[in-house]
């Protein structure tokens, strides 16, 4: 379940990274280099989100609703 929820922000991150990369091609000099480096970081973040979601899903962490219930009930599941 965590994996599927991690795909939503990963999709937004890929779109943002593409926009930054596309925008940086229209500039020159240091701004272009900074834009390319920033786009690479956003793509790395986009790749890390599904990896973290897959880890949370397959490591046996409790479902999200069980975690929320235990937080609202004072720690007693």
The reported pLDDT for the residue numbered 73 is: 66
Q: What pLDDT, in 10s, does the model give residues 10-67?
A: 999 999 999 999 999 999 999 999 999 999 999 999 999 999 999 988 887 776 666 6
Number of neighbouring beta carbons within 10 Å of residue 12: 13
Cβ(2)–Cβ(53) below 8 Å: yes
Within a domain: 21:
yes
State the residue range of the domain holding 10: 2-72
- The structural domain count of the chain equals 1
Q: Does residue 26 contact residue 58 with C-beta atoms inside 8 Å?
A: no
In a domain, 77, yes or no: no
Q: Domain for residue 41, yes or no?
A: yes
Q: Determine, yes or no, domain membership for 27.
A: yes
Assess contact for 10 and 49: CB atoms under 8 A: yes
Residue 59 · residue 3 · CB < 8 Å: no
- pLDDT value at residue 58: 87
Give the C-alpha separation, 36 to 38, whole Å.
5
pLDDT higher at 41 or 76: 41
């Amino acid at each position: 379940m965590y994996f599927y929820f991690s795909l939503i922000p990963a999709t937004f991150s890929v779109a943002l990274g593409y926009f930054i990369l596309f925008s940086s091609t229209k500039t020159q000099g240091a701004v272009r280099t900074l834009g390319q480096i920033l786009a690479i970081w956003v793509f790395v973040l986009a790749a890390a989100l599904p990896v973290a979601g897959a880890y949370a899903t397959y490591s046996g962490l409790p479902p999200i609703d069980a975690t929320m219930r235990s937080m609202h009930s004072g720690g007693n599941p």
